[in-house]
A = this chain, B = another copy of it.
Amino acid sequence: MIVNPLPRYEILSGEAMEALDRGWRRIVTELGIEFILPEAVEEFRKAGQKVEDSVVKLDPEFVLEQVAKAPREFDLQARNPERTVRIGGDHMVFSSVYGCPFVRQGDDRREATMADFENLVRLSQAFPELDSPGGTICEPNDRPLDSRHLDMVYALQTLSDKPYMGSVTSGPNAADTVRMTEILFGGREAIERTPAVISLINVNSPLRYDDRMLSAMLEYNRANQAVVITPFILMGAMSPVSVPAALTQQIAEALAGIALAQLVRPGCPVVFGSFLSNTDMQSGSPSFGTPESAIGLLCTGQIGRHFGLPWRSGGGLTASQTVDAQSAYEAVMTMLPTFLAGANFVMHSAGWLESGLVSCYEKFIVDIEVLRMLQAEFAPLEVTDETIAFSAHEEVGHGGHFLGATHTLERFRECFYRPLLSSTENFERWKSKGERDAAARAGEIWRKTLEEYEQPPLDDAIREELAEYVTRRRAELGD
C-alpha cells in the first residue's frame, strides 16, 4: 500500500461532470437496471422503487441516499496485522492478476493448474509491491469445478498472509469464503468489525446484474465484507462506442449495485469498480492499454471522488500475446494513469497477459518492476536548501564530476531507484552474458523468487480447521 501524495490528474470540467450526472440519472430512471435475482428486486420494491419484472427503475435521489451510507474509506484486515490495508482516500492497494484460464512460462502457454495458482500466490506474497495476491490468480483447471473455490481460498489463506479476494461464482461459494475467513480470523465478530475479504462483483453490462454474482454479493454484504462492484465494459460490445457514454453507463450500473448493497446492510464496505476498455473494431477483439481506456481511467477517478467512494481500476493490462514491447507499453499506458488518477484498489497489478486470458510468470516480473518504479515516482519530492546541495557544487566546481564527491558517497546507496529487472549494462557486457532480454531475465527472477519463498507462519490448529472445512465441504459438493 502506498499513500499517493502527488496531485490527482483530473480532466473532466464541471460542465462535463454535469452532463455525466444528467446521463446516469436518465438511465436509471427511464431504462432502469435489471437484477436477475428475485430477492434483489424485492429489496428495491420494499424500498419504494418501481419494479417491472426483473428491471428496477430507480429514483436517482434514492440511489444517492443509499450511496451516501457507504464508508468513504475502510480497513481490510490481513491475518498478519502489518499487512492490513486501507482502501480509499489517498491510499493505493495493489493486487495480482485475476481470472485467467491459461498460464504462460517463457514460450510455454497452457491451461493453468493448481500448482500454478500456488506458485503465483507465492510470488504475490514475496514482492512487497503487492498488497494482495488477489483471488483467482489463475483458474486451477485440474481441480473439480464445484469445489475449486475451496482450494483457492485455502491456498490464499495459507501461502500468503496478505488480504485476499473471495469466490463470487455463487452465493454458497461466497458463504464458504466467509466461513473460512471466520475460521482464519477467529470468528464472525472479528470479521464483521473489520472486513477481512474483498470480492469482485462484475456487472453483466449493459445494465444487468446476473443471479450468481448477485447472490455472492448479498452474502458478502450481509457479513460486512468488502465488494468491488464493477461494470465490465468493453466499449463497442458492452457499451456504446464513446467514452462519455461508457462513463455514464458505468455510473448508472455501479451506483445501482452499491445502492442494493447499502439496502441489504447499511454502511457495508463497497468499492466503485471500473473495468473499461474498448473493442478493436477491426478484429472485434478486446484492446487494452488504449488511449480510450486511459482517458476512462482518469475520468473514473474523478467520478469516484465525486460520489465520495473508494474506487478500483487500472493494472498492467495488455492485449499482447507475449512479453514483448507491446505488452510493456500497454501495461504502462494503463498503470501510469492508474497512479495519476489515484486508484484505491488496483487489480491485475502483476501477471496480466493476452487480454486477461493468461497469467504470465515473466509478465508478472515486468509488472513488478513497473509498479516499483511508479511507487518510487509517486512519492514526495523534498525541495529544501539541503536537498539543493550547494556544497556539492562547491566541492566539484566547473566541469568536474560528482561520482567521487563526498555528497555522492554519503548517499549513493539510497539516492536513486534501483531496478529489479532493468539492465543498464553496456552492450559488450550484455552480449557476453548471453544477450538476455527483459523477458529472459524475468524468467530467472521468478524462478529465484520461488526458490527463496518462505511460507508465512500460521497456527496449526487454524490450518487444521481450514483443511477440515475444505475436506468436509468438498465431500458435500460431491467432488
Q: Which residues of A from 20 to 37 have beta carbons under 8 Å from B?
A: 20, 22-23, 26-27, 31-34
A 282-326 to B, binary, CB cutoff 8 A, 1 in contact else 0: 111111011110110001000000000000000000011111111
Which B residues touch A207, using CB under 8 A?
393, 397-399
Closest to A11 in B: B6
Binds B, one of A67-75, A182-190, A379-387: A379-387
Which B residues touch A382, using CB under 8 A?
244
A373 at the interface (CB under 8 A from B): yes
Which B residues touch A411, using CB under 8 A?
241-242
B321 x A422 contact (CB < 8 A):
no
Which B residues touch A283, using CB under 8 A?
424-425
Q: Chain B nearest CB: distance from A264 CB in Å?
A: 21
Interface centre among A32, A204, A282 (most CB of B within 10 A): A282
Binds B, one of A123-131, A166-174, A332-340: A332-340
A 250-289 to B, binary, CB cutoff 8 A, 1 in contact else 0: 0000000000000000000000000000111111111101
A 395-425 to B, binary, CB cutoff 8 A, 1 in contact else 0: 0111111110101100111011111011111
Which B residues touch A239, using CB under 8 A?
402
Closest to A247 in B: B383
> A244: which of B327, B388, B425 is its contact (CB, 8 Å)?
B388
A408 x B241 contact (CB < 8 A):
yes
Specify how many copies of this chain sit in the oligomer: 2
A227 at the interface (CB under 8 A from B): no
Q: Chain B nearest CB: distance from A59 CB in Å?
A: 18
A 1-18 to B, binary, CB cutoff 8 A, 1 in contact else 0: 000001101111101100
- Distance between Cα atoms of A392 and B381 in the complex (Å): 47
Which B residues touch A26, using CB under 8 A?
390
B333 x A381 contact (CB < 8 A):
no
- Distance between Cα atoms of A208 and B34 in the complex (Å): 70
> A425: which of B12, B240, B321 is its contact (CB, 8 Å)?
B321
Which residues of A are interface residues toward B (Cβ below 8 A)? 6-7, 9-13, 15-16, 19-20, 22-23, 26-27, 31-34, 55, 109, 204, 206-208, 235-245, 247-249, 278-287, 289-292, 294-295, 299, 319-333, 336, 340, 354-355, 357, 366, 369-370, 373-374, 376-377, 379, 381-385, 387-390, 392-394, 396-403, 405, 407-408, 411-413, 415-419, 421-427, 430-431, 435, 437-439, 442
